[in-house]
Amino acid sequence: MSIDGNQQLARNVASAIEEWTPSEAYDHESKFQNELQEYLDRRLNSGGNMMLGPSQDVVVEREHGNVNGDVVVNGDIGIEMKRNLTNSQTKKLRGQIEEYQKEYTHVIPVACGIDDMDGWRKLKNDYENQTGIGMDPSSAPVRFIHKNKSNYGEGDTAENYDYSGGGGQQGAELAEIANVIEDGMKGYQSLTGDGPMDSGEAVTAFAQAVLIVGFLIAVVAIILLNML
C-alpha cells in the first residue's frame, strides 16, 4: 500500500499508542513489545475503527518484514521499541529508522523510558515532518512516541477492547471521532502555514474531519426534527 493510502491507519495506530502506557516497568524490551502488540491487536480490531470500515481486519505482528520490525501493522507500519533509550541505542535507532523507511510506509519509534533525551530530540528534529528541498517525498514519515516511566500502569490497556465489538466499542468510536477532528484541525493549521503535517497529509486529514463534522451535524439535525 502507498504512503497516502495508509495515512488513516497510521494515524489510528499512532493515536492508540499515544493512549497506551506500559502496565509495569518490565525488565526486558520484549515484554514491552508483547504488551503493545496485544494492545494494538485488540484496539484496532475492536469494531470501533469507523474510518477503516466494519469488515476490515487489522493484522498486528511481532518481528515482521525484511528488517524485522518489533511490531508491524498490516505489514506496512513498522514500530521500533526501545527500553530506557541510551546513547548507543540512539545511534542504532538512526540506522533502523532509515532501514524501516525502505520497508514500511510509516515508521513509529517508541521509547519506553529515555536516558539519552538529547539524542532522542535530535532524531525527532532530523526525521519528523521531513519536508523541503532535497527531501525524498517518497520517504516513509516518522512519528516519535515517548512513554514516561513515571506513568507506567496509568494508561489504556488491552482489556478495554474485545473482538466482538462490545465493551469498549462505544468509547473507541468516540475516541476515533475525536482523533479525526483533532487531525483535521492540525491539517487546517498546516495548510495555513502553521502546522505539523505536509500538504498531502493535511488535505486528507482536513477533508476527513469535514466529512465527520458534516455527518454529526446531519445526525443532530435529524434528531431535532424528529423531536419537533
Supply the mean pLDDT for the chain.
83
Domain boundaries, the chain: 4-227
Residue 39 cell numbers, joined: 494492545
Question: What are the tens digits of pLDDT across the range 2-13?
Answer: 555 578 899 999
The C-alpha cell 516497568 sits at: 25
Question: What are the tens digits of pLDDT across the range 131-172?
Answer: 443 445 557 899 999 999 999 988 777 877 765 544 444 555
Q: Report pLDDT for 85.
A: 96
Phi, psi of 79 (to 5 degrees): -115, 125
Cα 208 to Cα 7: distance, rounded to the nearest angstrom: 11
Q: Report pLDDT for 3.
A: 56
Cα three-residue angle 158-62-161, rounded to 5 degrees: 15
Question: Which of 100-104, 127-131, 204-208 ranks highest by mean pLDDT?
Answer: 100-104
**H-helix or E-strand spanning residue 110:** strand 106-114
Cα 208 to Cα 178: distance, rounded to the nearest angstrom: 12
The predicted model gives 21-36 an average pLDDT of: 94
User: Whole-model pTM?
Assistant: 0.69
